[in-house]
Structure 1
């Protein structure tokens, strides 16, 4: 290969920094816009992990703090048996303790999701990118569940006004139910959150790819937010029955009203009717829809800021 050919190849590679791209064709005198599905540059694993940790932790804390009252109402609706009324006082009960768990949980999730996604996109053909996003979302959810489940148990027990503070909740749960009490409903949590995380992130990533192809440009902050809201609302609606089951198992405490997931479902249907499995769907869709908008908007902006800082560093 001659030196001129080498220079041409170098220029072509520089023009496609995101690796394997789909050329969408030129329009006007502008250069063609290309959508990257995977990145063929050397994988900077630890940088991707660190950026995911920072971006995930930031987005998770902001969303939780902003939308906690809606989540509290949703939890109380799901916990109420029959037509019981719910209290609208103390809607921020347990927020501080929850933030202490949400920060590391969100950081762990994105710290696992981002490098796993990059590795799988390199391994899979372009037409299986959705499978890469699904798998990465599920693995991220599994890793973060070790922190998310105790956080969720304490949060929901405080939201239902069983405990006054997070430290006392942790202490009393362990005293009454043992350490396993902090992982009450772990199976139902995974049953809800693994498909939730996988589906939500898959919908979000695939819609972003499609949007960029149609728009022939990179997305703006408000467009990422709108796609995140849609992905969150849809996923939140279809996983509501799993959320109801998870809530009932987590808040039952030492009473052991339910012996497991199947027994919980059977009791709810027999005593309250099938419609009870959709309790709290309104607040849940609202909460996760708005939360998805904020989360993904902040996530993409934070990732961009970190990427810009990295590109400017020597």
Structure 2
């Protein structure tokens, strides 16, 4: 959290726990608020050229998705925060962007253990393949094996590791620059605005990777694509390069608003937890 970390000695367990709580809260709020936009984005990316989009059931799979989003977001921030703080201590100040990029990628990789099965189930439900999350898990495992829950894992990492690294790096660097100019800590609306900008830019940049991930995750047993390269070649040949930007409008809208909410909730929760922690420390010293 910018310069606040230097005010207190580094405590790995405390930073981890605060990150877990803040990340879980932020992830759940964003997912619940913006799920319909995500569903529209998924359906736009999943349909072949000329097919009709289904507009009903925009909240399909929300409950099951929240079950996965909570631990994934908690784990991401729980890993990101201590990794970032440790790297900022080790690296020279002019390489802070490297610390943010690296911490974002490390946090994203750890969170992928929860994110990928959650994403597979969510997108299969969003495209109408299943009616409930437990039913989706049972049938996917039965028909495709346990590895079916990790369908498109490579494409997910190809999209999410750069996404997490770039988004958090842009966000953190903008906050550093803003604080230097303003000569003060940022307020909640400012954090939210920077989060929205970082999310929207990163969402636009990574849309082609998101299209590949969606196609690989929703194909199920059809096996239309054998991998990332096969998927990219088939889309390019059959639908043209414009298909790689399919769903960019709802994606940028969703991640832009999502970035605003996520980083706003994240920073507010971190500030509240830090304040409680400092009060507890002072209380312990007085005893």
TM-score grouping bracket, smaller chain normalisation = over 0.9
Measure, in 2, the Cα distance between the counterparts of 1:42 and 1:59: 25
TM-score, normalized by length of structure 1?
0.88
**Pairwise CA distance, 1:216:** 1.1
Larger Rg, first or second structure (1 or 2): 1
Unaligned runs of 5+ in 2: none
Q: What CA deviation, in whole Å up to 9, does each residue of 1:151-208 have, x standing for no partner?
A: 0000000000000000000000000000000000000000000000000000000000
1:258 counterpart SS class: coil
2:41 counterpart SS class: helix
Answering whether residue 68 of structure 2 is matched by residue 101 of structure 1, we say yes
Answering whether residue 90 of structure 2 is matched by residue 110 of structure 1, we say no
CA RMSD of aligned residues (A): 1.2
Measure, in 2, the Cα distance between the counterparts of 1:36 and 1:71: 34
Measure, in 1, the Cα distance between the counterparts of 2:254 and 2:269: 22
Answering whether residue 199 of structure 2 is matched by residue 232 of structure 1, we say yes
What residue is the counterpart of 1:15 in the other structure? Answer: none
Measure, in 1, the Cα distance between the counterparts of 2:57 and 2:89: 48
**Pairwise CA distance, 1:37:** 8.6
User: Which of these residues, 42, 46, 57, is aligned with residue 13 of structure 2?
Assistant: 46
Question: Which structure 2 residues correspond to residues 187-226 of structure 1 after superposition, within 5 A?
Answer: 187-226=154-193
TM-score, normalized by length of structure 2?
0.96
What residue is the counterpart of 1:309 in the other structure? Answer: 276
What residue is the counterpart of 2:256 in the other structure? Answer: 289
Q: Is the 8 A contact 1:141 1:197 kept in 2?
A: yes
Q: Is the 8 A contact 1:37 1:121 kept in 2?
A: no
For CA contacts below 8 A with separation 6 or more, give which structure has more relative contact order: 2
Measure, in 2, the Cα distance between the counterparts of 1:62 and 1:36: 26
1:161 counterpart SS class: coil
Answering whether residue 240 of structure 2 is matched by residue 259 of structure 1, we say no
1:236 counterpart SS class: helix
Q: Is the 8 A contact 1:156 1:250 kept in 2?
A: yes
